[in-house]
Amino acid sequence: MTDNNRPGFFEEDNGARSEMRLMCFVSLLAAIGFGLLTILLSAAGKSDGGNGLFITFGFLVGAFAPKAVQKFAEQKMPD
């Protein structure tokens, strides 16, 4: 039996849409894409991979840090 009141993948517990989760997911997909591109260009000898590594790391930080900071800030706020 399924519960129709459960929030979806990009929704908060109250059922509101979460743009933060969507942006983090898009940033994760971009990090995966840039990581693969960096590996492929390094293997082909067209790049040393240094700049691609920084870009990939930046998108990884963008994928996980904002939600963690938001959760920390919400815990510090009084009810």
51-69 b/e (C-beta count within 10 Å ≥ 16 → b): ebeebbeebbebbeeeeee
Distance from C-alpha of 24 to C-alpha of 71, rounded to nearest angstrom: 14
What pLDDT is recorded for position 2? 46
Give the tens place of pLDDT for each residue, 3-54. Answer: 577 777 788 777 788 888 889 999 999 999 999 999 999 888 888 878 989 9
